[in-house]
Amino acid sequence: MNSPSTEARTSAWPRPCSAGPTRPGYSRRIQIALQLTGAARAVATDVRRTADQLPADHAFADVVLKEAHRCLSGAPDGTVRCAQVRVRLIRALYERLDRLTEAATSRPARAL
């Protein structure tokens, strides 16, 4: 019986999880991930600036910012998962920014 080896059969299967440059839509997904990365960096800057203006401890903002730095330090790989991770990060950054902004507006104004 002349049947091909299991390795030969499986290596011929299409790789639907592959997100390399030869896959359709790869460059579009990379551009989306790059735009999301830029948006996340902008919101992270706002979070840092707002947190630094508050006198209280802002440890949770630091945690979110460290996570943002970790997530954004790698190059986007052009997968849907990569874009989803960046969208979730932007959501978390905006939530933190909203809380910090609320805390900043609720504190009493300083006397001049």
Question: pTM above the 0.75 mark?
Answer: no
Q: Is residue 58 classed as helix, strand or coil in its secondary structure?
A: coil
CB of 90 within 8 A of CB of 39? Answer: yes
Residue 81 vs residues 33, 78, 91: alpha-carbon distances, Å: 10, 8, 15
Q: Where are the domains of the chain?
A: 23-105
**Tens digits of per-residue pLDDT, 56-98?**
778 888 888 999 999 999 888 888 899 999 999 999 999 999 9
